[in-house]
Chain A
């Protein structure tokens, strides 16, 4: 049973547009929700993360929106650039089982010039 569902699987956006990737989770014990960015041939790297005590976190052009009641969180990339073209993974983990992490299936983002 997949605990973190990510959509869409792929996304094409024009340069300057807004990219939005969504994730939904099932386990209410999750208390840490990161987004990782992966370029071809590289390992994933942390992009931005949020805890459930806030509804939004912004870092530069990247924003996480978090809806605890709906058990959903999303990544918004403002003013998308060709250099943002990568695969994005949402993830979730819990302090009660700190070693375990659950990832979404990933979204391949292509930003067209």
Chain B
């Protein structure tokens, strides 16, 4: 089954404790992105990647890091999480051609 998977689905952590949210897709897509969803603010793009070792900032990159060492994986790293990073996070992927994005199920992160 073609899909984007994220882990963990739920995470509660404390301020300053480094964490990684994993994202993997099995569709051989070139493009991958991370978004955060907050009430009333829609989906805001954090980082995106156009292929292995090629990443760029989205609209809200501060406090986040990403890497793309393999085509299928695109982890999101929070080196020192803060409470304002409490949010619902989505990973998405798509091909170079049609722009349809396929979204993962989401990761709900709470930073206390």
Q: CB < 8 Å: which of A6, A43, A104 contacts B104?
A: A43
A102 to B56, CA, bound (A): 14
| Interface bin, chain B | 20 to 34
Contacts of B40 in A (CB 8 A): 9, 105-106
Q: Which candidate, A57-65, A73-81, A93-101, is the interface stretch facing chain B? A: A93-101
User: How many A residues, CB 8 Å from partner?
Assistant: 24
Q: CB < 8 Å: which of A89, A93, A98 contacts B96?
A: A98
| Dominant SS among interface residues on chain A | strand
B80 interface residue per 8 A CB criterion: no
Contacts of A45 in B (CB 8 A): 103
B99 adjacent to A49 (CB under 8 Å): yes
A31 to B72, CA, bound (A): 27
B15 interface residue per 8 A CB criterion: no
B48 adjacent to A105 (CB under 8 Å): no
A43 to B36, CA, bound (A): 11
Contacts of A42 in B (CB 8 A): 105-106
List 23 A-B pairs, Cβ < 8 Å: A6-B42, A34-B101, A43-B90, A43-B105, A43-B106, A49-B100, A89-B43, A93-B99, A98-B99, A99-B33, A99-B48, A99-B56, A100-B56, A101-B45, A101-B48, A101-B99, A102-B59, A103-B35, A103-B42, A103-B44, A103-B45, A105-B42, A106-B42
Given A103-B35, A104-B42, 5 more A-B residue pairs with CB atoms under 8 Å apart are: A44-B103, A91-B43, A98-B99, A103-B45, A105-B42
Chain B residues packing against A (C-beta within 8 Å): 4, 31, 33, 35, 40-45, 48-50, 56, 58-59, 90, 92, 96, 99-101, 103-106
Nearest first, the 3 closest Cβ-Cβ pairs linking A and B are A43-B103, A105-B42, A99-B48
